[in-house]
Amino acid sequence: MGLLRNIRIWTQNRLLSRGFLLEKINRTQVIPKVIEAPELYRRPDDYSRLLKPWHDPFYDGIFTPEVVSNTMLSRMKLYYLHRFITQIRDLPGDVFEAGTGSGGSSRLLLNEVKKQSLRREMWLLDTFEGYQKVDAVRDGAHVQVNQCRCASFEDVQRLLQEPNVPVRLIKGLIPATLAEVKATSFAFAHIDVNLHEPTLAAFEFCLKRLVLGGVIVFDDYGWPATYGARCAIDEVATKYGQNIIYLGEQAFLIKR
Ligand SMILES: C[S@@+](CC[C@H](N)C(=O)[O-])C[C@H]1O[C@@H](n2cnc3c(N)ncnc32)[C@H](O)[C@@H]1O
């Protein structure tokens, strides 16, 4: 193992010094057979060394073990989530998340909400049983019921216990469960349900209650496997004249 590793590092360094990069590609990425506009989906085209602030040791204190061991989000995605939740610090309104999964992204948001002076409730929605309804036409044939199962409702409830912030964990299928969300305004929303129908419904629901300057972060904008979610985001944004800003994997909106 040691010898192979040394050969790899030596080869990498030799190639780098000549302007080439040897990189392991992500073989676990699901690439559907059929996606519209495949020319828009490409490998990274800039291999330069660029600033990646999410590796700063400061973020080790934000990306705590209870966050990173309960999330599918990379450090980069957690970084953007953190920057946006701090951005809305002075805006009134609750926090919403569609697609709580095992609770890691919610835990990061909760840790920041409890530092903020404005009182907010957190509305967190998931089936807590993975996909329970899929649309083969809009989301693609690669998507199956019961995929994307995360931790149980009870485990997530334990992870998100916080005496000073009201956490409303709502189990069941979006759109139906949106009726249980009693918030009148939101300052921030995170939408991470991967699929067309719940993305569309959650986005429209949040946008109607989002205060001006409030932010929505969409986790699923860039991956070919979550193409249905991207279509839903574009549909709602166009309908309401809102601007989607793409970050490379996630996208976000600041309500105007
Ligand atoms: C990518 S995971 C969420 C990841 C999570 N935010 C994290 O930090 O790792 C997507 C979640 O969406 C949920 N989901 C998909 N369709 C849903 C629907 N119609 N209603 C509620 N939850 C849904 C799945 O159960 C799954 O937990």
**pLDDT > 70 in the chain, percent:** 98
Distances from the Cα of 61 to the Cα of 102, 158, 218, angstroms: 20, 21, 24
Average pLDDT over residues 99-115: 98
What is the spatial distance between Cα 241 and Cα 227, in angstroms, rounded to a whole number?
21
Residue 217 is part of which domain span? Answer: 28-41+50-254
- Which residues are within 8 A (CB) of 87 and not within 5 positions of it... i.e. 6 or more apart? 215
How many domains, the chain? 1
Confidence check: pLDDT of 103 > 80? yes
Which of 100, 145, 156, 177 for mutating ligand 1's site (highest number of atoms within 8 Å of CB)? 100
Which of 77, 81, 127, 199 for mutating ligand 1's site (highest number of atoms within 8 Å of CB)? 127
Q: Output the residue whose Cα is nearest ligand 1's atom 24.
A: 130
- Is 23 within a domain? no
Confidence check: pLDDT of 110 > 80? yes
Confidence check: pLDDT of 47 > 80? no
Which of 222, 182, 3 lies closest to 96 in space, CA to CA?
Answer: 182
Please tell me the total number of residues recorded for the chain in this structure. Answer: 256
- Is 102 within a domain? yes
What pLDDT score does 1 carry?
62
Tell me, what CATH number does 83's domain have? 3.40.50.150
Instruction: Collapse the DSSP code of 162 into the 3-class scheme (helix H, G, I; strand E, B; otherwise coil) and give the result.
Output: coil
- Residue-wise pLDDT for 55-81, tens only, equals 999 999 999 999 999 999 999 999 999
* DSSP bridge partners of 125: 98, 170
Q: Which tokens go with 48? A: 């330069």
What pLDDT score does 41 carry?
87
Ligand 1 centroid–CA 193 distance in Å is 4
Give the number of C-alpha atoms closer than 13 A to the C-alpha of residue 63, restricted to the C-beta side.
22
pTM: 0.91
- Is 182 within a domain? yes
- Is 20 within a domain? no
Omega before residue 175 within 30° of 0, cis? yes
* DSSP bridge partners of 122: 95, 167
- Is 210 within a domain? yes
Q: Which tokens go with 162? A: 């916080």
Binding pocket residue ranges, ligand 1, CB within 6 Å: 71-73, 99-102, 104-105, 125-127, 130-131, 133, 148, 150, 173-174, 192-195, 198
- Residue-wise pLDDT for 141-159, tens only, equals 999 999 999 999 999 999 9
- Is 19 within a domain? no
Q: Which residue type is seen at 44? A: P
What pLDDT score does 68 carry?
98
- Residue-wise pLDDT for 183-233, tens only, equals 999 999 999 999 999 999 999 999 999 999 999 999 999 999 999 999 999
- Residue-wise pLDDT for 128-137, tens only, equals 999 999 999 9
Task: Say if CB 63 and CB 75 are below 8 A apart.
Answer: yes
Work out the pLDDT band at 22, boundaries 50, 70, 90: confident
